[in-house]
Amino acid sequence: MELGFSTEDEAFRNEVACWMAEHLRGDFECLRHRGGPGDEDAYPAERKAWEQTLAAGGWTCVGWPTDHGGRGLSLARQIIFHEEYARAGGPGRMGHIGEGLIGPTILAFGTDEQKSRFLPGIVQGTEFWCQGYSEPNAGSDLANVQTKAHRDPGSGEWIINGQKVWTSLAHESEWIFVLARCEAGSVGNRGLVFLLVPLDQPGIEIRPIRQLTGTAEFNEVFFDGARTAPSNIIGQPGEGWSIAMALLGFERGVSTLGQQMHFYREFDLVCQVARDNGADRNPMFRARLAHAWMGLKVMRYNALRMLSGPQDGSLQRPAMIYKYYWSNWHRDLGKLAMDVLGVDGDIVVNDPVRTRLQQLFLFSRADTIYAGTNEIQLNIIAERALGMPREPRPSLG
């Protein structure tokens, strides 16, 4: 076991830091520490332009193979890149669904034609993607999707009818990948298809959802006879579920260390407020701040354990606890931030630190709901890691 990075890797760290310092300024100055979950509606146009600047520097898709436009970085260097990107205040990536989810899926399961059609737009930061999984009646029970897809007998095109929900950034994206039911009468995880669908067409309507934060970064996406070309299917009809699950396995956690940099910054802001208003002399706050800091340490080491484990897609224990741990930690930090602010926490003023902490408090309530609720996470841990009896799942055959 060893914690450090090699001298060459540390030189690479410096290279990333220098590049960020040179480029994240001028028109992009306003993007520092902006975007990402809870702040996805910030500066969308500037963040898309930033994606293209990143691409020009060769800093998109850094872990992808070079023959598909990636940088082919080792795991250690991907970690370093994400850390330095976040440390420099690099904005939440508009391209992360393309780069982290659908891109690797196309690399693994796509045809050569699909690779040459879709990967360059992701690498160059010119085409953005969103994820069409959840539906009003398919949340935790994702296999219960009811959106339907069938072939046009004449053209062979896929025709889609139904509704998706909680679709981040749909209003800023060109494409959506859709899990839909292609076999009439099928139930659960059988009879599904995985389709790539262009969003700019008459059969699709996108409606923003106003969140408890008052802002809107999720959407409902309605499909009413929407169409996509016969070639825009990943895998075969009926294989949708296995493709959909494989996609979720591609996020191996290299970006989690970048996420933790944001957490460190939020924690520092809470400490700063505590020092300013004297909460740092209250023993109860001191204990809670120390506890939060220990959680940051745990998350860092846990992520390093996760990345040191076998990279064969198998879910090791540090990976299985990760989502539950960070989301609950983050939610607690939001509450701590507001408690440290005290009565001021309720007052809305033009102060970026206070606004950020108020947003943290409100948005972090979503952390333990999206991407697998706390309750689903505990089921997964109990059943897959501890081998305990499974819950009945009528929709999983």
Partner 1 sequence: MDFALTSEQEMIRATAETFLADASPSAAVRRAMETEIGFDADVWNQVGKEFGWCAIAIPETFGGLGLTIIEQAILMEQMGRRLFCSPYFATACLAVPALLEVGTAAAREGHLPSIAAGEITATLAFGERGLDWDIDAVTATATPVAGGYSISGHFQHVPDGASAQLLLLPARIVGRDQVSLFAIPAATQGITTQPSMTIDATRRIAEVRLCELHAGENAIVSMPGNIGNGLARTSALAAIALAAEQLGAAQQCLDMTLAYIAERRQFGRPISSFQAVKHRCAEAMVRIEAARSAVLGAACAVAASPTTSTLMLESACAKTMASDCLFHCAVEAVQLHGGVGFTWEYDPHLYLKRAQASGQWLGNCDSLRERVAAILLDR
Which residues does the annotation mark as catalytic? 251
Of the ranges 32-40, 133-141, 208-216, 280-288, which one interacts with partner 1 (CB under 8 A)?
280-288
Neighbours of 199 (CB within 10 A): 20
Query: Does the footprint of partner 1 cover residue 324 (CB under 8 A)?
Result: yes
Burial class (CB in 10 A: 0-12, 13-18, 19+), 333: buried
Binding letters toward partner 1, positions 362-381, x by CB under 8 A: -------------x-xxx-x
User: Which of positions 194-213 make contact with partner 1 (CB under 8 A)?
Assistant: none
- Other beta carbons within 10 angstroms of residue 196's beta carbon come to 24
Q: Does 393 bind partner 1 (CB under 8 A)?
A: no
Q: Which is nearer to partner 1, 105 or 302 (CB)?
A: 302
Q: Does 302 bind partner 1 (CB under 8 A)?
A: yes
Integer angstrom CA distances of residue 24 from 58, 172, 266:
15, 22, 20
| Footprint (CB under 8 A) of partner 1, residues 219-278 | 271, 274-275
Stretch that binds partner 1, among 21-29, 202-210, 234-242, 306-314 (CB under 8 A): 306-314
Least separation in angstroms between residue 120's CB and partner 1 is 32
Which amino acid is located at 317 in the chain?
A: R
DSSP string, 182-202: -STT--TTSSEEEEEEESSST
* Of the candidate residues 18, 65, 207, 293, the single one contacting partner 1 (CB under 8 A): 293
Residue 198 gets the label, from left (phi > 0), alpha (psi -120 to 50) or beta, of beta
- Residue 110, classed as helix, strand or coil, is coil
The one among 286, 347, 351, 397 contacting partner 1 by CB under 8 A:
286
| Range in contact with partner 1 (rule: CB under 8 A) among 107-115, 162-170, 287-295, 340-348 | 287-295
Taking the least distance from each CB to partner 1, the nearer of 4 and 352 is 4
How many residues in the shown chain lie near partner 1 by CB under 8 A? 50
Which one of residues 305, 345, 370, 373 is an interface residue with partner 1 (CB under 8 A)? Answer: 305
> Would you give the DSSP letter of residue 316?
-
Q: How far lies 209's CA from each of 171, 180, 218, 297, in Å?
A: 11, 22, 6, 35
The correct pick among 57, 156, 391, 394 for binding partner 1 (CB under 8 A) is 391
How far apart CA 59 and CA 270 sit, in angstroms, is: 31
Q: Answer yes or no whether residue 297 interacts with partner 1 by CB under 8 A.
A: yes
What whole-number distance in Å separates Cα of residue 135 and Cα of residue 167?
9
- HSE-CB at 387 with a 13 A cutoff on CA atoms is 0
Residues 6+ apart with CB under 8 A from 123: 55, 60, 61, 64, 68, 69, 70
Count the residues in the chain: 397
**Minimum distance from residue 319 beta carbon to partner 1 (Å):** 10
Per CB under 8 A, the segment of 26-34, 132-140, 299-307, 335-343 that binds partner 1 is 299-307
Verify binding: residue 339, partner 1, rule CB under 8 A.
no
Output 19 or 326, the one with its CB closest to partner 1: 326
Task: For the CB of residue 125, give the shortest distance to partner 1 in the complex, in Å.
Answer: 29
Compose the 30-69 pattern: x for residues touching partner 1 by CB under 8 A, - for all others. ----------------------------------------
Does position 349 interact with partner 1 (CB under 8 A)? The reply is: no
Q: Outline where DSSP puts E strands in 199-267.
A: 204-209, 218-228, 233-234
Distance of CA 112 to the CA centre of its chain: 26
Q: How far is the CB of 333 from partner 1 (least distance, A)?
A: 14
Q: Which two tokens stand for residue 296?
A: 């940051």
d(CA 183, CA 145): 12
Q: Which of residues 66-85 bind partner 1 (CB under 8 A)?
A: 76, 79
Amino acid (1-letter code) at residue 269: L
CA 308/CA 70 separation, integer angstroms: 22
Residues engaged in binding partner 1 (CB under 8 A) = 1-5, 9, 76, 79, 271, 274-275, 280, 283, 286-287, 289-291, 293-294, 297-302, 304-305, 307-309, 317-318, 320-321, 324-325, 375, 377-379, 381-383, 385-389, 391
